[in-house]
Amino acid sequence: MAIKVGFIGLGAMGAPLAKNLQTKGFDLNVFDLDAAKIEMLTALGARRATSVAEAARGADVVITILPATAHVEAVVLGAEGVLANIDPGAVLMEMSTIDAKATDKVAAACAAQGIGFVDSPVGRLVLHAERGESLFMVGANAAEFEKVLPLLNAMGNAIHHCGGPGMGSRAKVVNNFTLLSIAQIVAEALTLGTKLGLSVETMRALNAGTTATNGQFQTLMVNKVLKGDIEPGFTIDLAFKDMGLALNAAAEQRIGLPVGAAALAVYGAARAGKYAAKDYSALLAYACGLAGIETPHL
């Protein structure tokens, strides 16, 4: 019998993840505030939930993947939320990128109610999610990990069990801090190289052939902004939020992250204007604009 899944949150990353589950034989009941996203999944055979409560009821696993901490707390802990409606013995798999302390709060609420809990933030880009090639950073006890493993295998091809509940969220904060900081360095480097007269092709080949190589240049930029596409993807606004999570975590641990603080300031400045809702690869367009040059293209 197919695993029954209540899937809540059909955004840029959630929609392709849900699509992979639906096309691979899982029994999906989906909910999102965007009716068009629900239509896309119901056209593939998923069932339409009219509320969070309806999505949660009757599910073996409830998945939430939402923009920020406040959304998760409202959807999971609210009076008409997941925990008020989830079936006994079910598992909540929370896949959002949120503050680790909020993940701990949700995990504790699940434990108090006897509900299994897994935090499994998503790595890689939307294009990987669309191909079923996502990476997952999983925080879970052994029993819950085994219960959600078939779903993770259907949605991705790299699964890292990072430890107990909450450790997936902590791993995601660290990983996103790394990649988002590198994205800003790449944007600056490409702006400098363009100003100096180097072609993107030359810079790309040199980058790929040295230890400077990185996915932000070789995968993100070449598939988005360098093709003239800055539609999200993963927005500057969300990138700013994730960088803030890392800086807040560092402050709590009395750790200074000076390079990260500088990158956060750039994301903050970029989101103050027309790039807020654009893909974070638009950092390059923002940097080129400040330098008074055209954004290079492949």
Confidence of residue 39 (pLDDT cuts 50, 70, 90): very high
Is 172 among the catalytic positions? yes
Q: 258 to each of 191, 246, 251, 255, 265, how far by Cα in Å?
A: 22, 12, 11, 10, 11
Q: Give the pLDDT band of residue 261 (cuts 50, 70, 90).
A: very high
Tens-digit pLDDT profile for residues 117-170: 999 999 999 999 999 999 999 999 999 999 999 999 999 999 999 999 999 999
- Which domains does the chain show, CATH number per domain? 4-165 (3.40.50.720), 172-291 (1.10.1040.10)
Total-model pTM: 0.94
Q: Are the beta carbons of 201 and 170 closer than 8 angstroms?
A: no
- The contacts of residue 184 (CB under 8 Å, 6+ apart) are 263, 266, 267, 283
Mean of pLDDT over the chain: 97
Catalytic entry in 19, 37, 105, 172 = 172
